[in-house]
Amino acid sequence: MSTTTPSELDGLVQSAHTAYREASAVAPTVRAGWLTAIADALDGAADELVPLAQEETHLPGPRLRGELTRTTFQLRLLGEEIAAGHHLEATIDHADPDWGMGPRPDLRRVNVPLGVVGVFGASNFPFAFSVLGGDSASALAAGCAVVHKIHEAHQRLGTRTAEIVVAALAGTSAPKGLFAAVTGRQAGEALVDHPLVRAIGFTGSTRVGMLLSERAAARPEPIPFFGELGSTNPVFVTRRAWEERSEEIISGYAASLTLGMGQFCTKPGLLFVPELDDSARTALEETFSAAPRFEMLSERLAEGYGSAVATVAATDGVETLIDGEHGPAPAPSLLLTGADEVRANPELLSTEMFGPAGLVIQYGEEDRLPELAALLDGQLTATIHGESGERPAELVDLLVAKAGRVLWNGWPTGVTVSYAQQHGGPHPATTAPGTTSVGTAAIRRFLRPVAFQDFPTEALPAALREENSWGIARRVDGRWQPR
C-alpha cells in the first residue's frame, strides 16, 4: 500500500486549511448536514466496510456492525448538538457604564474552530476511534478541517472509509479538502510538525502518544495535543458485595475483561477483592475458559501483550492463576497478588496488559482500599462494586481524583455517546484531563474562545449578533437564554 509523500501531505494540509477558512462561518445547521451526509454514506456502505474490517482486524462481524452504528449515531448526535449551538458558548455582555469595576465595553465571546486538526486513529476501534471516529467527528463538528493518519493495522479499511467520507462531503456544500487521509509513519510525523496543523487528536499507546505529544510541544509554535493513552481501569469489590454475589461479579468481570479479546482502553485490568477462595478460583477459571477467542488485532500487538503479561507474572509475589497461551489468539490469563506486594511494586497497578489478561489483588481488610487506590495513576475509569447502603466515601473521593468516569456496580467497557459522557482522565490516561474524547462535550476541545470588543454588528460573527439569526442558546449579561 502506497504511503503519503511529504509534498502530498503538505498539499492536503494546505487544502484543509483553505477549506476550514471557507467553512468557518457556515451556519451550524449546514455543518450538521455534512455530518449527517457522512453518517448516511457510512451506513450505506456497511456491507462493504464490515467484511473489510473483519479481514484486517479479526474482530467479529456483529461487534463491527455495532461499532459502525455507534460511529454514525455519534455523527448525527454531534450534528444535533451544534445545530443548537451549545458548543459555541456564545456570551454577550452589553456595554455597562455602571459595571462594578468601572465602565464595561460591549464584549462578546464565541468559540471558534482551531483550524486543521491532525487525527491519529486507534487500531482497536476501526470505525469508532478511527477515520471518522470520535476525534474526526468532533473536530468537523467544531468547524475544523481534519487530516487523518490511517492506522497501519487497517489500512485498506481506512483508505476505503476515507474515500466514502470524501465522496459524501463532495455531495454537500462542504468545501473541497475539508477531510483527507494520509498513510505512513513519515506522513504522521509531518502532520504533527506542519505549521498549519493547529491541534492533534490521538488514541493509542502511552509510548507513541508521549512521543507525538513531545513532538507537538517541541514545534516552534507548540499546539494542543489531545491524547488518550493508557489505563488499567481498577475495579474495587467491597467485602459485603463479594460475600453477597461473588459469582455474579466474577461472571461480569470475565465478560468485560475478555470482550473483544480484552483490546479495550477501558478493559477492567485490575480487580480488588478481599480474598480469593477455592470456589472463586474455580469460578474464574470456568468463566475465563468459556470466553470466545479470536486473533488479536495485529501480530505486533499480540507480542506486546505477551511480553506485558510475562513482566507482570515475573514480579515478586505475583502468582499465575490462569495461564493463557500466548500467540496470535491467546486464551485469557489471570494473575494474582496481594496488597503488600502491590505496595512493594506499585508499577503492578500501572502496567497495562493490552489483551485478555487481568490482575486480581487480594486486599484483605477493607480499610486498606483507600491506601491502595492512592497508589493508582490517572485512569479512564474506576469501578466500585458495593451493596445497597454502602457508601465508601473516602474510596469514591480518591477515585474521582484519579479517573474520568467512576462506575457503581457496572463494568467499564461500553462507553455510551451522550451529553454527560466523560472519556478522559489525568496522565497517563490522557494528556488533557480537562477534556473528553467521547460524547457531545468532545467538540469543545477543538475550539477556542475569542472575544469581540465594541465590534459593529455587521462585522460580528452571526452567533454574536443581536438578532440571533441562528436561534442558538446564548448567555446575555450573565443570564442563560436557552434555545
- List residues with catalytic annotation: 228, 265
Which residues inside 328-387 make contact with a second copy, applying CB under 8 A? 377-378
Please say which residue, 196 or 331, places its beta carbon nearer to a second copy.
196
| 294 near a second copy, rule: CB under 8 A | no
Among the residue ranges 7-15, 173-181, 187-195, 443-451, the one whose residues contact a second copy (CB under 8 A): 443-451
**CA pair distance 93, 480, nearest whole angstrom:** 12
Residue 122 vs residues 46, 240, 264, 430: alpha-carbon distances, Å: 19, 39, 10, 14
- Minimum distance from residue 465 beta carbon to a second copy (Å): 13
- Minimum distance from residue 379 beta carbon to a second copy (Å): 11
| 268 near a second copy, rule: CB under 8 A | no
Residues 6+ apart with CB under 8 A from 283: 246, 247, 250, 251
User: 147: closest CA among 30, 44, 20?
Assistant: 20
SS3 403: strand
Q: For residue 257, how far is the Cα from the chain centroid? A: 18
- Minimum distance from residue 436 beta carbon to a second copy (Å): 6
**How is residue 469 written as a grid cell?**
439569526
Site string for a second copy, 99-118 (x = CB under 8 A): xxxx-xx-xxx--x-xx---
Interface residue with a second copy among 51, 61, 66, 327 (CB under 8 A) is 66
**How is residue 13 written as a grid cell?**
494540509
Q: What is the DSSP letter of 262?
A: G
| 445 near a second copy, rule: CB under 8 A | yes
The residue assigned the cell 454514506 is 41
Among the residue ranges 182-190, 243-251, 325-333, 393-401, the one whose residues contact a second copy (CB under 8 A): 393-401
Residue type, position 50, single letter = V
**CA pair distance 211, 265, nearest whole angstrom:** 19
Site string for a second copy, 19-48 (x = CB under 8 A): --x--x------------------------
- Minimum distance from residue 387 beta carbon to a second copy (Å): 10
Please say which residue, 62 or 278, places its beta carbon nearer to a second copy.
62
Among the residue ranges 30-38, 270-278, 313-321, 440-448, the one whose residues contact a second copy (CB under 8 A): 440-448
Please say which residue, 69 or 315, places its beta carbon nearer to a second copy.
69
**CA pair distance 311, 345, nearest whole angstrom:** 12
Site string for a second copy, 123-162 (x = CB under 8 A): ----------------------------------------
Q: Is residue 133 within 8 Å of residue 42, measured between CB atoms? A: no
Which residues inside 402-421 make contact with a second copy, applying CB under 8 A? 403-410, 416-421
Which residues inside 185-214 make contact with a second copy, applying CB under 8 A? 198, 214
Please say which residue, 282 or 418, places its beta carbon nearer to a second copy.
418
- Minimum distance from residue 227 beta carbon to a second copy (Å): 11
| Size, binding site for a second copy by CB under 8 A | 88
Which residues inside 71-100 make contact with a second copy, applying CB under 8 A? 73-74, 76-77, 86, 91-93, 99-100
Q: Is residue 467 within 8 Å of residue 90, measured between CB atoms? A: no
User: What count of other Cβ atoms lies within 10 Å of the Cβ of residue 309?
Assistant: 26
- Minimum distance from residue 464 beta carbon to a second copy (Å): 9
* β pairing state of 107-113 and 447-453: antiparallel
| 292 near a second copy, rule: CB under 8 A | no
| 65 near a second copy, rule: CB under 8 A | no
**CA pair distance 399, 97, nearest whole angstrom:** 47
Please say which residue, 315 or 409, places its beta carbon nearer to a second copy.
409
Q: DSSP characters for 88-102?
A: G--EEE--BTT-TTS
Bridge partners of residue 120, in order along the sequence: 149, 202
User: 429: closest CA among 412, 448, 441, 409?
Assistant: 412
- Minimum distance from residue 324 beta carbon to a second copy (Å): 29
User: 297: closest CA among 119, 95, 121, 76?
Assistant: 121
**CA pair distance 398, 380, nearest whole angstrom:** 14
Q: Is residue 219 within 8 Å of residue 198, measured between CB atoms? A: no
Which residues inside 209-238 make contact with a second copy, applying CB under 8 A? 214, 217, 221-224
Residue type, position 272, single letter = F
Interface residue with a second copy among 279, 317, 401, 469 (CB under 8 A) is 401
Please say which residue, 47 or 221, places its beta carbon nearer to a second copy.
221
- Minimum distance from residue 97 beta carbon to a second copy (Å): 12
Among the residue ranges 7-15, 296-304, 324-332, 429-437, the one whose residues contact a second copy (CB under 8 A): 429-437
